[in-house]
Structure 1
């Protein structure tokens, strides 16, 4: 899987095409893999989600292969060399509220919300943010209409943020970009985090949730641990429970191939987390 986790389509048919001529086979084998489709032009609408590009839903027919993504329950995060990951949690309840990615001098706060079955949520959320923040402005972006919102941080400094929202089937994924990724559209950090956001795979689940509820999350599960757990489950299904009695069998959690730093916050706003 590539730098941003782009790979084969998850639901791609495994059927083999009809045999081709030898020279056609040679051309096909030597051909480089196609570059992933990614929106780069600002627009007032975000069309093609789930068909040409993400953020994806786990049930999308053309969803990318997310086996190498980091599982956080509500969504799967792709791999990007050089990122930092901070998990937001409520100190009183230990409930995980979201994740924040840092990359260079930029940041990306990610939250997934439940949405109505028959309509999207981002238009209403954006209208609420505009009404509650006189300094907020709308503009077209690579994920459709987005908001520019100045935020006053500790020490009185004003931080400009770029807020995007993408509607999926019964969910909305919101990203709050800061640093260069908020104000410099062509900066490498902006392009990298845009692609990172576009390659997130959302898992809404089947539990009943009210619109604007956060989709439940769990602590990060790395790809290696997820693969090992799946193999163990398949082994049990094949009647290999006797393997549990092997002498000196290692115990404890599986080794993780990705470490994360877990921090907590005392509280959060209903629809916007302060940048501190």
Structure 2
């Protein structure tokens, strides 16, 4: 549902207003106020918060939330899923332009992919702007999903809520706290728009995983 096959392009500032994260970042460059909530660009991340450091993405420790990470043998993280009871949150972080958002375009492509599968998505308004919600068919039967995108300076976070939290922002619970406390650490490497930013297990976790594999 997140195609990279199309000719790269992105939403221009004249096409749609930037997300709050991106707008606040641009304002702060001109000595404006820092963002009120995350996902945070690393320069605005609050101090004194315990986080799981996965490289380009840091996940705050929130009581009751289980972090499930799928990694390759080299320690590269391929999937991040957070679980709270009957709700789940899958996270991804991607390269984006410095001053222009890509979520509007990505959201349109997700909706198009859903429609081609016979699913009718709907747009709803949440804390971060326009979201995409739908009921999809799974091996276990129909299930609700909800996509949330947050444009930041040179990055975009894509969040996929599943289970109870997918029914709407009011049902996010602690998973919403995690999303609002994420920290994105964007390196200085030039990267194609939409390329996944590098994610790696912390050294201790990587060594433990290698030991279990052996």
TM-score by length of 2: 0.74
1:117–1:182 distance in 2 versus 1, CA, 3 Å:
same
Residues in 1 aligned to 2:146 and 2:180: alpha-carbon distance in whole angstroms: 15
What secondary structure sits across from 1:186 in the alignment? helix
Picking from 121, 124, 132, the partner of 1:139 is 124
Residues 75 and 200 of structure 2 are in contact (CA less than 8 Å); yes or no, is this contact kept in structure 1? no
Residues 75 and 203 of structure 1 are in contact (CA less than 8 Å); yes or no, is this contact kept in structure 2? yes
- What residue number does 1:202 align with? 184
Structure 1: gaps spanning 5 or more residues: 1-43, 226-252, 263-276
Q: Give the CA deviation at 1:53.
A: 1.0
- What residue number does 1:250 align with? none
Work out which of the two has the higher radius of gyration on C-alpha atoms and give 1 or 2: 1
Regions of 4+ moved over 4 Å: none
1:158–1:94 distance in 2 versus 1, CA, 3 Å:
farther
Picking from 151, 160, 164, the partner of 2:136 is 151
Q: Give the CA deviation at 1:95.
A: 3.6
- What residue number does 2:90 align with? 109
- What residue number does 2:5 align with? none
1:133–1:121 distance in 2 versus 1, CA, 3 Å:
same
Structure 2: gaps spanning 5 or more residues: 1-16, 25-33
Pairwise CA RMSD of aligned residues? Answer: 2.7
1:71–1:164 distance in 2 versus 1, CA, 3 Å:
same
Count of aligned pairs: 178
What secondary structure sits across from 1:116 in the alignment? coil
- What residue number does 1:58 align with? 42
1:45–1:158 distance in 2 versus 1, CA, 3 Å:
farther
Picking from 106, 123, 126, the partner of 2:104 is 123
1:221–1:193 distance in 2 versus 1, CA, 3 Å:
farther
Picking from 14, 17, 20, the partner of 1:47 is 20
Residues in 1 aligned to 2:130 and 2:179: alpha-carbon distance in whole angstroms: 15
Residues in 1 aligned to 2:49 and 2:132: alpha-carbon distance in whole angstroms: 32
Residues 148 and 163 of structure 1 are in contact (CA less than 8 Å); yes or no, is this contact kept in structure 2? yes
What secondary structure sits across from 1:182 in the alignment? helix
Q: Deviations over 1:18-65 (max 9, x none)?
A: xxxxxxxxxxxxxxxxxxxxxxxxxx97436551111101123xx312
What secondary structure sits across from 2:105 in the alignment? helix
1:138–1:66 distance in 2 versus 1, CA, 3 Å:
farther
What secondary structure sits across from 1:85 in the alignment? strand
- What residue number does 1:99 align with? 80
Residues 75 and 201 of structure 2 are in contact (CA less than 8 Å); yes or no, is this contact kept in structure 1? no
- What residue number does 1:175 align with? 159
Residues 54 and 199 of structure 1 are in contact (CA less than 8 Å); yes or no, is this contact kept in structure 2? yes
Q: Give the CA deviation at 1:172.
A: 0.1
Q: Deviations over 1:42-101 (max 9, x none)?
A: xx97436551111101123xx31265211001111001112211113357x764223100
TM-score by length of 1: 0.58
Query: Which structure is higher in strand share?
Result: 2
